[in-house]
């Protein structure tokens, strides 16, 4: 379906086209190559960590990070249910059990109190999510992780460039994951990364994401025989894709500024309606990968249908993971997550992207206003 206003639009420019064209024209280094290393360096510089490893998706990045911390069968990992399913699936990939904790009303991120209550002697890690680019209460969660000697892995898939004060999201956890899927802050189509300050974890990530192959510089051009020192996968990002990452990251701040300006304008247009907004503390720098509002649950689906008829795309981010067929019926989850369930019944994600124009925002807000007038 072609939308009058889509939910997201990829921002790309001539620099992206030139960058990827050049890497194709090289005629070599289509798999591993110097762009990958450069992109990893740029990401760690931008986020402020010592190390970064890129991946072919955020999901494979999360999977690899759980392996690198030796999380396995019998272990429990605390995750939100108000997230994309990959967050909860990651523990399952290594045979561990995802344990759902509830979220906070203000940030839609994990509630530290509920996380505390969900800790058992089997808990190994916590994976908080920074919802739609809004930081969660990561400082409190870090304290809980430290007090209980748990691994903290930030799922920052949606939060590239988000900050608390001057500290970037992606620097709080033992490791943090970013996604470069097409609707994210910067994108390579598919792609992901892990940032960390641990040399040990960095080394493990490098091995696991590339067949467990003991490092040979330029494997494809080397006559040396490789040795394999552990079980590994092919979760690598290609050199062609990394060239797109390099041109995208060079404009990250501009893309974030546009999202924030658009969100500010949309906030101002929707104010005074029967609408609730995400409401993080003042020093939380939201990068608005998603722009979500909450309205009365009895009206939510009606508003979505109304906007659909007007050609404006909306979506529910997120339906709780514990209520999906897989978790409920196949895995047998039956949880009581009050805030998660309330928010997911009220949430509606509106269009948000860097090139969203003022006139498009005017249309969105006018149609929402018309909807409320119509039902009065």
Ligand X SMILES: Cc1ncc(COP(=O)(O)O)c(C=O)c1O
| Nearest approach, Cβ of residue 306 and ligand X (Å) | 26
Nearer to ligand X by C-beta: 110 or 312?
110
Nearer to ligand X by C-beta: 78 or 129?
129
Interface residue with ligand X among 64, 81, 83, 292 (CB under 6 A) is 83
Interface residue with ligand X among 11, 39, 82, 84 (CB under 6 A) is 84
| Nearest approach, Cβ of residue 129 and ligand X (Å) | 5
Q: Which stretch binds ligand X (CB under 6 A): 79-87, 240-248, 260-268, 363-371?
A: 79-87
What is the contact mask toward ligand X in residues 30 to 69, using x (rule: CB under 6 A)? ---------------------------xxx----------
Interface residue with ligand X among 23, 54, 179, 248 (CB under 6 A) is 179
| Nearest approach, Cβ of residue 286 and ligand X (Å) | 15
Interface residue with ligand X among 23, 64, 81, 87 (CB under 6 A) is 87
Asked if 129 touches ligand X (CB under 6 A), the answer is: yes
Interface residue with ligand X among 36, 53, 71, 86 (CB under 6 A) is 86
3-state SS record for the chain: CCCCECCCCCCCCHHHHHHHHHHHHCCCCCCCCHHHHHHHHHHHHHHCCCEEEEECCHHHHHHHHHHHCCCCCCCEEEEECCCCHHHHHHHHHCCCEEEEECECCCCCCECHHHHHHHCCCCEEEECCECHHHCCCCHHHHHHHHHHCCCEEEEECCCCCCCEECCEECCCCCCEEEEECECCCCCCCECCEEEEECCHHHHHHHHHHCECCECCCCCHHHCCCCCCECCCCCECCCCHHHHHHHHHHHCCHHHHHHHHHHHHHHHHHHHCCCCCEECCCCCCEECCCCCEEEECCHHHHHHHHHHHHHCCECCECCCCCHHHCHHHHHHCCCCCCCHHHHHHHHHEEEECCCCCCCHHHHHHHHHHHHHHHHHHC
Positions touching ligand X (CB under 6 A) are 57-59, 83-84, 86-87, 129, 155, 157-158, 179, 181, 192
């Amino acid at each position: 379906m072609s939308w009058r206003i889509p939910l997201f639009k990829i921002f790309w420019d001539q620099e992206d086209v030139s960058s990827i064209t050049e890497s194709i024209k090289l005629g070599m280094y289509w798999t591993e190559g110097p762009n990958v290393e450069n992109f990893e360096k740029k990401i760690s510089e931008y986020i402020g960590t010592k190390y970064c490893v890129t991946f072919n998706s955020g999901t494979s990045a999360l999977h690899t990070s759980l392996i690198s911390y030796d999380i396995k069968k019998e272990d429990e990992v605390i995750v939100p249910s108000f997230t994309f399913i990959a967050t909860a699936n990651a523990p399952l990939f290594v045979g561990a059990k995802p344990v759902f904790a509830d979220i906070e009303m203000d940030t839609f991120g994990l509630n530290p109190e509920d996380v505390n209550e969900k800790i058992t002697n089997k808990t190994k890690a916590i994976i908080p999510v920074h919802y739609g680019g809004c930081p969660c209460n990561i400082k409190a969660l870090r304290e809980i992780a430290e007090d209980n000697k748990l691994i903290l892995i930030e799922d920052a898939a949606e939060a590239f460039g988000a900050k608390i004060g001057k500290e970037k999201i992606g620097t709080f956890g033992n490791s943090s994951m970013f996604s470069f899927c097409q609707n994210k802050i910067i994108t390579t189509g598919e792609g992901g990364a892990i940032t960390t300050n641990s040399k040990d974890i960095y080394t493990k990530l490098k091995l696991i994401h590339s067949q467990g192959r003991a490092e040979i510089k330029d494997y494809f051009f080397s006559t040396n025989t490789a040795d394999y020192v552990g079980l590994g996968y092919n979760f690598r990002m290609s050199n062609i894709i990394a060239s797109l990452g390099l041109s995208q990251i060079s404009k990250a701040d501009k893309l974030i500024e546009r999202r924030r300006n658009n969100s500010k304008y949309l906030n101002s247009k929707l104010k005074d309606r029967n609408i609730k907004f995400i409401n993080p503390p003042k020093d939380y720098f939201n990068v608005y990968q998603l722009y979500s509002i909450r309205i009365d649950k009895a009206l939510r689906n009606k508003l979505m249908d109304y906007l659909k008829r007007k050609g404006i795309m909306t979506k529910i981010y997120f339906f709780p993971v514990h209520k999906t067929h897989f978790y409920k019926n196949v895995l047998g989850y039956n949880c009581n997550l009050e805030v998660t369930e309330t928010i997911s019944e009220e949430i509606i994600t509106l269009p948000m992207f860097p090139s969203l124009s003022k006139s498009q925002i005017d249309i969105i807000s006018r149609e929402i206003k018309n909807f409320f007038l119509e039902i009065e």
